[in-house]
Every structure is written in C-alpha cells, then in structure tokens.
Structure 1
C-alpha cells in the first residue's frame, strides 16, 4: 500500500474516471450503479449482511451515501446543464440554488458536508452511528427523489 492519500488518478474522483486500459486507450465506459442500487448496498451494510467489511463498514456506508448524493446531482445536471457535471462539487452546490431552489440546495449542501466529514477518519472522532447513517440514508433517498422531480420538470 502506498502512502498516497486521495484518488489514485491525479486527483479526480471516481465518478470522472474511465475504467479500462491504462495505456492511454479509451475503452467503453462501464455503467455505474444506479442511485437505488447504491442505497440497497447501504441497507446491506446497515443490516450487517456484509460480513467482510470489518470495522470500516460505517465509513464505507457514509462514502456510498455521498457518492449516491453526488450522482443524484450529476443526473440533474445531465438533464438541465451538462457542463456543470465537470465542476467541483462545491461549485455545483452553489449552482444548485438556481436550478432546484434554496431549500433543496441547502439540504443537499448540509447532507453532503455531513457525509464528507463522516467518511474521513480522524483519530479524535467516533465513526458515525447506525442511527446517523440511517437518517442520512433516508435524507439521501428523499433528496434523490426531489432532484429527479426537478430534472423532470426542467428537462
């Protein structure tokens, strides 16, 4: 294991990476799991059905929830403003106010910040509790549904 922190592909998150040959050839994109599939995985982790996650399950759950939330935002952008998908998430959260309204944008921003904080390990903080993770899962599902409705209305 290297001592490197963060994504292995030069700082870009996994949602921008292509899977395939590393020799510079661009292969076909591998379809990513749907938001619903990610939330099903979260339920498996929360129920204890995934036994090989060890002590990492709670932070892994927070990461999956954050990815699902980001994917929901991406899906909105792909329908209403495709260029925004390439912007950093903080910029997307600012733009979200104009497209989804201040209430939804604020709720997405607060949840994204909470998931980001929970997903990173700090020696002085406890891992997120099952109660927190369940609440964040419910919020992620609700916001994904609301963002889908915004996309359908505006698209």
Structure 2
C-alpha cells in the first residue's frame, strides 16, 4: 500500500495535535516534518510522472530543478524552499534543538497549499 499526500497531511496534523501518548514534543515535531516532506515529494512526483514518465527515478533535487517547467515558477520556488526546510527539520543532531511547533505549523500550511497547487 502506498501513502497518499492527503493521508500524510492528516498524520502531520495528528502529530502536531499531540494525540500520541508516550512521545515528546520534539519527536512529534520531527515526525510531522517527515510526513510533510513525504507528502510534498508525492505531490512533486505526481506532476513530473504525468509530464515525463520515468522522471520519478531521479533524485528529489533533480526533480525540484525540473519542476519549474511543469508548474509555475512561484510554485516551484516555494516547493524547493519548504522542502529544504523540512529536510533540516527531519534530521536529528545532538547539538541542535530541532524544529519548533510554530515552525512546523507554518510548514504544514505551506505544504497543504503546495500539494493542492501541484494537483491542479
């Protein structure tokens, strides 16, 4: 079974709502970042696979470079920016605090809008 972008957005919402007992806020924020990044990647893959079959095998960085040809420049730019932020939010480093709840909420709104734009 494959995940859908909408399902991953709902997962991020649940994580941000704190509905999971036994988890830390930092863990929920990081988990939400992973769900959001994956949802965004699914949206990008759907656009590019429809335009150029087989492009889905490329790296995400390469896909983001191609995206401006198959969506608006603004959408492509916003997608690259939020994807980069989410990548940083997904990775754990001992010496970093990790993404704050408010940051992840902003990214959630942005990813939701981008997934809808990319689906058009």
TM-score (norm 1): 0.73
Tell which has more relative contact order, 1 or 2 (C-alpha 8 A, sep 6+): 2
- Corresponding residue of 2:69: 98
- Corresponding residue of 1:38: 8
Match for residue 28 of structure 2 among 57, 60, 74: 57
Tell me the distance in 1 between the aligned counterparts of 2:99 and 2:14: 16
Moved more, 140-149 or 95-104: 95-104
Tell me the matched-pair count: 119
Query: For structure 1, which runs of at least 5 residues remain unmatched after alignment?
Result: 1-30, 150-155
Match for residue 87 of structure 1 among 53, 58, 67: 58
Which segments of structure 1 move beyond 3 Å, counting only runs of 4 or more? 52-55
- 1:128-149 deviation digits (Å, cap 9, x = unpaired): 1111111101100100000011
- 1:53-109 deviation digits (Å, cap 9, x = unpaired): 335211111111100100111111222212210000010001001111221111000
Match for residue 114 of structure 1 among 64, 73, 85: 85
Which has the larger share of helix?
2
TM-score (norm 2): 0.92
Secondary structure (helix, strand or coil) at the match of 2:54 reads helix
